Amino acid sequence: MAKRFFYVSGGILMLALAYHLGAMSAQAQAPGNPVVAVMGCGAVITANGDIYEPLGGSCNVSFPFHHDGNVFAGGPTPARVESFGQLKVKYRP
């Protein structure tokens, strides 16, 4: 029992010491708009839908990238509204 108490006390002491020596809360270091997909010859899509391609149109991805558009720029996809009865008539034998 004393050994267990010693380990718990030592752990609390180490946490207090780490905090005293400058440990701070963790903070994210990721960019605000990360790359989520890579297509073809180096074209990339970011989280907000922007598409970037290498300048010159070649497969050499060491070129600087330029903004080529946005996946979501076309607006919402039009959809036809059907009732449940219309769907049943359409798909029932």
Quickly list DSSP for the chain: -HHHHHHHHHHHHHHHHHHHTT-------S-SS-EEEEETTTEEEETTSEEEEEGGGSS-TTSPEEEEEETTTT-PPP-----HHHHHHHH--
pLDDT at residue 11, rounded to an integer: 92
Classify residue 9: in a domain, yes or no.
yes
Does some domain include residue 21? Answer: yes
Least confident of 4-13, 48-57, 83-92: 48-57
For tokens 């497969």, name the residue.
59
Q: Say what the pLDDT of residue 33 is.
A: 81
Domain assignment present for residue 64? The answer is: yes
Residue 19 lies in a domain: yes
Which residues form the domain of 62? 2-25+32-70
pLDDT in tens, 14-65: 888 888 877 666 666 666 788 888 887 778 898 888 988 887 766 766 668 8
Domain membership of residue 62 (yes or no) is: yes
In a domain, 76, yes or no: no
The closest of 30, 25, 67 to 50, measured between CA atoms, is 67
How many domains in the chain?
A: 1
- In-domain check, residue 75: no
- The model's confidence at residue 72, banded by pLDDT at 50, 70 and 90, is confident
Please check whether residue 87 lies inside any domain of the structure: no
